[in-house]
Amino acid sequence: MTDAPFAVHLHLDAGDIIGESLVWDERTDRLLWVDIAGRRIHRLDPASGAHDIWPTPDFVAAIGLCTDGRAIVSLRKSVALWDYGSEFRHLADIEPDLPDNRINDCAVAPDGSFWVGTMQNTVDEDGKAMPLTRSSGMLHRVDAGGNVTRLSDDMFCATNTLVWTRRGFVTSDTGLNETYLYDMAQDGRSIRNRRPLHAPLDRGIPDGSCLDDEGYIWQARTGGGGCVVRLSPDGEVDRYVETPCQSATSCVFGGPRRDTLYITSTQYGLGDEHLANHPEEGALFAANPGFTGPPAFRFEI
């Protein structure tokens, strides 16, 4: 295991309740992410500091890029297309028969579809934490026609980490502190043969992830992990990157050369005394780790 020879610094005092779903738009050189419980979407130009914030009509779980320049956005129970400040155009409903579930992590897949992970809702209307008591989460695939297909029969406490590696599809269950490897069907529309990618780590629990150009996984460790871990495609720990925040939530490589690692964080579940002493919780952080990342996949529309 290698120690990280670089520092993570505060880039923007975003004040997010649950910052998540970082994505870099290489067409505009802008960084996008969401604040789930804060019900808002961020867009940042790191070069100029220009920072747009848009409110959302409900909890917002994730954001991705579309081929036509719009964004695809997941709200509490639905997926919508969105043109930065316009109305959210409904595309698909997710698990309408499970009202106590909500959407969690999502990502655009290599084939241009949108993969959606769900979980039991653990955020009340005021953005406060509620207990996680069951494994009711699933993984679904949404196409441009709004068709929703379940990807496997497996259940999750809380779906997170959606990345596609040379070995297959990698996802995690935050509630169980497990990260899994799946085999992909040739048509990309289903997954099978779930098995652990590695033994559970003792630094927090898994949250959002990204890949670098060497095919390694960078996984934010929430739940007090205070780090991002770099994992080989075989699940070996390469290094831990210490973060100023207690719980990192997602990460992505951005910047004109895609060599800056951006990291979101959360205030979720932290007490008032801790937040008073640690105002950096909920901020956006950045580092230059000496690696680059690939461009984001785009939703085919």
Catalytic residue annotation: 207
DSSP assignment letter at 175 = G
Three-state SS at 224: coil
- To which residue do tokens 């997170």 refer? 160
Give the sign of the dihedral formed by CA 207, CA 151, CA 292, CA 197. positive
CA–CA separation, 195 and 217 (whole Å):
17
CB burial of residue 10 (10 Å; 0-12, 13-18, 19+): middle
Helices (H) and strands (E) in the chain, counts: 1, 25
CA 107 to each of CA 9, 51, 65, 262, 297: distance values in angstroms, whole numbers, following the listed order:
26, 23, 9, 17, 9
Torsion angles phi and psi, residue 104, rounded to 5: -120, -115
CA–CA separation, 108 and 90 (whole Å):
17
Give the helix, strand, coil percentages of the chain, each rounded to 5.
Answer: 5, 50, 50
CA 26 to each of CA 106, 179, 205, 245: distance values in angstroms, whole numbers, following the listed order:
19, 29, 30, 27
Amino acid at 234: D
Q: Which two tokens stand for residue 270?
A: 């932290």
CA–CA separation, 207 and 221 (whole Å):
6
Q: Which two tokens stand for residue 174?
A: 């935050």
